[in-house]
Structure 1
Amino acid sequence: MVNKVSIGLVQIGGEPLAVEENRDLTVRWTERAFNAGADIVVLPEMIIHGYAFDWRALAETAEPVDGPTVKQWTSLAAEANGYVVGGFCERDGESLYNTAVAVGPDGTILHYRKTHLFANEKIAFHDGDLGFPVAHTRFGTIGLCVCYDLRFVEVVRLMALKGADLICVPTAWLPGYDKERWDQDGMCPQGKGAVLQANLSQVYIACASQAGRHGEFDFLGSSILVDPYGKLASGPLPGSEDAISVTEVDLGAAKRAQVRGELIAPRADRRTDLYGIWENGLENGLKY
């Protein structure tokens, strides 16, 4: 396994329901990131369909998980021998999902449906039902969640306990949940939460957000890459601008961060005799 990996954050905005134009946009920026040396490229949440809640309009343009977007991203991944992570509106039967995938040269390695729907997303989408899978790559083990999922600390902790070294998070960060938009360093509150969770769960977290004004929303940008000690490896990217960063990191640091001193081992020090995280319910689930 090669632990050194270059992670590309692509911060762009998608126009609502402009699927073909947005897909072309992701192709251009993903190629740019790969050409800059990225091994893994992370795109924002719902970047193909834009951040929209008109379920009737979404239903007309939504795609299956093996549809044109995933095929296009897989082609890009194969050409670069890398990985592409990003979000779109998935249709499965009559149900719509806020979906993210991670694809490699041979196709989809992670298929995730947003578990915690935010505000009006509840009107358009069904709750995610695929759990929190992780996938092994030649660089390390990666997990996947979407935006508001980061507000629930169990999500990152669960994937970390399942072996994730890196958690990729397509986002569309918006103002309104917190009292401030950005601090003096251009960091939004959602990013601060990612910094804290990376440290507490000893994982890399890569967040790529939409940015600028698209449709009725002003996105916060502030895309970041955080290391397992809670230190920024990249970002925050400018709040209102399209931007890209490519940063080399050592995913092996995620394992090393589990021991902080001779008698300080935050992963091993968990008291699972007193508490734990259950995946897939108490009856038939697994406890971590």
Structure 2
Amino acid sequence: MTTRSLTVAAAQLGPVPKSASRPDTLARLIKLLEAAATEGAQLVVFPEAALTPFFPHWLVDDDNELLSYYEQSLPSPDTRELFDAARELRVAFVLGYAERTDDDRYFNTAALVDETGDVIHRYRKIHLPGFQSVQDGAPFQNLEKRYFEVGDLGFGVQSWRNTTIGLAICNDRRWAETYRVLALKGAELVCLGYNTPASTPHLTESNDLTDFQNHLSMQAGAYQNSMWVVGTAKAGIEEGVAQIGGSVIIAPSGEIIATARTLGDELVTAEIDLDMVMRYRRDVFNFEQHRRPEHYKSITEPHPRGNTR
């Protein structure tokens, strides 16, 4: 019996400084894409907001500067070269970016681009962390609620190369609903980019747990929903903010198959067994046979809202 397999790569990025031009950053992405193709990767996952520094980490006073961080279309003139490279290499990719719509709405978005360079699926981040207003005294900001709207596309899936793929972004990974909804829609592989600070100014007690909790959330989601997860970081010290790395490929067993070892540009590649999803869903988490949501007690009080990233 032939096993369905796919070679995937997490293309971790080191810091993207404000001084970097879009072509400079794009050249780094293309270099990782080319390296992935050399290693036989068929799908490459880039980080959240891969094209720019993560600008919600500071207050942007200048409107022209703020707008420069968003893309109004994909491929845009500034990103066309990446799409052309994917077409030439016959490699698909997931790209996180800041999206500005034609009617001036703003989202933290990820796009799935197939090996012909066409955008075949798009997701807009739902679980926005952080704050709307500046937090006085904080060493850095997290103003996602200021610069992005809550995603309006829901958690969708896309079939590609006989694989059902779902997308998520950063803070989404902390919420059980992310993986469960995607699993219920048939997702076998979840691709997730993140920009996560190494410290949390308003919850310093968790600082030593950041790397652990990053992997914990993705491993739990993968295991409890019998799916593969590829998590890709933007890492290192970017505009004064230290960000974790730990880009990772996780199996439906919850096991880490491969992980990044640096805080710079690094490629993490693995051949994954997609039929492992079927085996775990048949023999461990068979939703149809064992899941009984009609017997769950109603939640009468909401959980206190947290603002951690």
Q: Say yes or no: TM over 0.5.
A: yes
Partner of 2:190: 167
Counterpart of 1:230, as a letter, is G
- Alignment gaps of 5+ in structure 1: 277-288
The question of 1:231 aligning with 2:240 is answered no
Higher deviation after alignment, 22-31 or 151-160: 22-31
1:215 corresponds to which residue?
A: 239
**Residue 105 of structure 1 is aligned with which of 105, 115, 122?**
115
| CA–CA separation in structure 1 for the residues paired with 2:78 and 2:110 | 11
For the pair shown, the structure with the greater C-alpha radius of gyration is 2
Aligned equivalent of 1:201, options 200, 215, 225 = 225
- Corresponding residue number in structure 2 for 1:15: 17
Give matches, 1:1-288, under 5 Å. Answer: 3-13=4-14, 14-16=16-18, 18=20, 19-53=22-56, 54=60, 56=63, 57-66=65-74, 67-68=76-77, 71-92=80-101, 93-106=103-116, 107-119=118-130, 120-177=143-200, 179-181=206-208, 187-235=211-259, 237-260=260-283, 265-266=286-287, 268-274=289-295
Q: Displacement of 1:196 after TM fit? A: 1.0
Percent identical among aligned pairs is 26
Q: Is the 8 A contact 1:116 1:149 kept in 2?
A: yes
Deviation (angstroms), 1:49: 1.6
C-alpha distance in 2, partners of 1:58/1:128? 19
1:61, CA displacement in angstroms? 4.0
SS state of the match for residue 150, structure 1? helix
Letter in 2 for 1:205: V
For 2:232 and 2:32, the matched residues in 1 are separated by 13
In terms of mean alpha carbon deviation, does 68-77 or 166-175 score higher? 68-77
| Deviation larger for 173-182 or 126-135 | 173-182
> Residue 283 of structure 2: SS of its match in structure 1?
coil
SS of 1:110 mapped into structure 2: strand
Separation in 1, partners of 2:192, 2:159: 17
Per-residue deviation, 1:251: 1.1
> Contact between 2:126 and 2:172, CA under 8 Å: does it hold in 1?
yes
User: Could you say what secondary structure the match of 1:131 adopts?
Assistant: coil
How far does residue 137 in structure 1 lie from its aligned partner after superposition?
Answer: 1.0
One-letter code aligned to 1:26: L
After TM superposition, give the deviation of residue 126 of structure 1 in Å. 1.5
Report deviation, 1:174: 1.8
Residue 74 of structure 1: how far off its partner (Å): 2.9
User: What CA distance in whole angstroms lies between the structure 1 residues aligned with 2:80 and 2:248?
Assistant: 27
Give the structure with the larger helix fraction: 2
- Separation in structure 1 between the aligned mates of residue 3 and residue 114 of structure 2, nearest angstrom: 16
Give the deviation of 1:123 after TM superposition: 1.3
CA distance in 1, matches of 2:43, 2:162: 10
Aligned CA distance change for structure 1 residues 267 and 58 (closer, same or farther; 3 Å): farther
For residues 37 and 125 of structure 1, the distance between their equivalents in structure 2, rounded to whole angstroms, comes to: 36
In 1, distance between residues paired with 2:45 and 2:166?
12
161 and 73 in structure 1: CA distance in 2 versus 1, 3 angstrom threshold: farther
2:303 equivalent in structure 1: none
Q: What corresponds to 1:284 in structure 2? A: none
Give the drift of 1:125: 1.3
Residue type of the alignment partner of 2:274: L
Contact 1:165 1:252 in 2 (8 A): no
When the two structures are aligned, how many residues end up with a matched partner?
270
CA contact (8 A) 2:23 2:78 kept: no
Does the residue aligned with 1:33 lie in a helix, a strand or coil?
helix
Give the drift of 1:228: 0.5
Contact 1:165 1:204 in 2 (8 A): yes
Residues in 1 aligned to 2:44 and 2:155: alpha-carbon distance in whole angstroms? 20
> In terms of mean alpha carbon deviation, does 157-166 or 62-71 score higher?
62-71
Q: Given that residues 150 and 194 in structure 1 are in contact (C-alpha distance below 8 angstroms), is that contact kept between their aligned partners in structure 2? A: yes
Task: Report if the CA contact (8 A) 1:42-1:170 is conserved.
Answer: yes
